[in-house]
A and B are shown apart, each in its own frame.
Chain A
Amino acid sequence: AQSVTQLDSQVPVFEEAPVELRCNYSSSVSVYLFWYVQYPNQGLQLLLKYLSGSTLVESINGFEAEFNKSQTSFHLRKPSVHISDTAEYFCAVMSGGATNKLIFGTGTLLAVQP
């Protein structure tokens, strides 16, 4: 069975500092990996995804994530955060099978402080 682990429930960081949100997954088959962001009382927005090809994927607002197959990780990074990045971040895995179900991690609250 697939699972996703986000070890950090909350990550406090000062504005303009770098941040890394950790995500590890377990799966016996090839996977697709996603990071979603959720602002308070809103739905999820796709931040970035890895389907195949380059293991480093980037978003338009400065986030990046690297797929590391040997470490089964897909950590999210940003070199300099803004107050507006404060939100809940969810890592998710999808198997390449027919069901296309997403399995979510428990989420990490990124709390950016001035």
Chain B
Amino acid sequence: GAVVSQHPSRVICKSGTSVKIECRSLDFQATTMFWYRQFPKQSLMLMATSNEGSKATYEQGVEKDKFLINHASLTLSTLTVTSAHPEDSSFYICSARWQGNYEQYFGPGTRLTVT
């Protein structure tokens, strides 16, 4: 149980375009979802926390107009990278949890490459 999926697993886009990444909780209602970014051979950096039906809370230094997060339902959150640039290339990982549970369940990640 507690499975989180991400789509797509890999995406290549051209500089200046936007790309959307989906994060779904398959067998539970995710009251909170988290989005992380991981650079090669580095740790995970929390980008934002989103609660269902509310605006996302972004970490310091993360541009909320560039990384649009929507958590419209209890099973789906999306991250849209707007006007992507090569420096946005990274591994993006989401996680989800339900209310009252401390544990976060992680998706398999999405590899974004901006050319």
**Chain A residues close to B by CB (< 8 Å):** 32, 36, 41-46, 49, 51, 90, 94, 99-107
Contacts and interface: CB of A to CB of B under 8 A. Distances in A.
B40 to A, nearest CB: 11
A107 B107 contact: no
A51 B107 contact: no
B102 A32 contact: yes
Which of the listed residues B91, B106, B109 has the most CB atoms from chain A within 10 Å of its own CB? B106
Contacts of B6: 43
7 contacts: A36-B106, A44-B93, A44-B106, A94-B102, A100-B32, A102-B46, A104-B44
A60 B46 CA distance: 28
Interface string B80-115: 000000000001010101000011111111010000
Top 10 closest pairs, chain A to chain B, by CB: A43-B108, A44-B106, A43-B106, A104-B43, A43-B109, A106-B43, A104-B44, A43-B107, A107-B43, A43-B93
B49 A101 contact: yes
Given A99-B49, A102-B104, A42 B44 contact: no
B54 interface: no
Given A44-B106, A101-B34, A102-B95, 16 more contacts: A41-B109, A43-B6, A43-B108, A44-B93, A44-B95, A46-B103, A49-B103, A51-B102, A94-B102, A99-B49, A100-B32, A100-B97, A101-B46, A102-B104, A103-B46, A104-B45
A45 B102 contact: no
Nearest to B59: A101
B113 to A, nearest CB: 13
